[in-house]
């Protein structure tokens, strides 16, 4: 598996999307995980100057969806997220956050991911769980 090529492809797919708007970049890939990073700055702040929970959820959903895409036949199948739950543990004002999606269940029709979001000092920021459905292209 050429992880560099896969990460490049994921980052190319992000152009012109919310992932590009939030400066999300996919940076690491393994057999059961995918990691992306997102800068914490004014673009992702809520009015109190802290990382917006919605931006954190968008990061979690982005990495969870991309991770599922790695495990399917993209010619005949596609992924839709059907459930995301997220707990915000700690606030963050500036720096970088890293979201790592780890596979809990990889079935034929559903995938379940746990997404852990930490900062550059490995402080736990948020934890999410995401369920994706695998659908057939028509």
Q: Give catalytic residue positions.
A: 61
| SS3 call for 122 | coil
Residue 86 CA from chain centroid, whole number: 12
Separation CA 57–CA 60 (nearest Å): 5
Token pair belonging to 11: 């980052």
Contact (Cβ atoms closer than 8 angstroms) between residue 73 and residue 138: no
């Amino acid at each position: 598996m050429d992880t560099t090529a896969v990460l490049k492809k994921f980052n190319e797919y992000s152009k012109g999307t919310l992932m590009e708007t939030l400066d999300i970049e996919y940076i690491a890939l393994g057999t059961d995980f995918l990691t992306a990073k997102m800068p914490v700055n004014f673009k992702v702040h809520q009015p109190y100057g802290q990382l917006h929970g919605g931006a954190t959820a968008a990061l979690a959903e982005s990495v969870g969806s991309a991770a599922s895409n790695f495990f399917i036949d993209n010619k005949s199948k596609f992924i839709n997220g059907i459930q995301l739950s997220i707990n915000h543990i700690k606030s963050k004002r500036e720096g970088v956050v890293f979201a790592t999606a780890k596979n809990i269940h990889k079935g034929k029709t559903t995938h379940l991911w746990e997404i852990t979001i930490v900062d550059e000092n490995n402080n736990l920021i948020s934890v999410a769980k995401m369920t994706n459905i695998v659908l057939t292209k028509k």
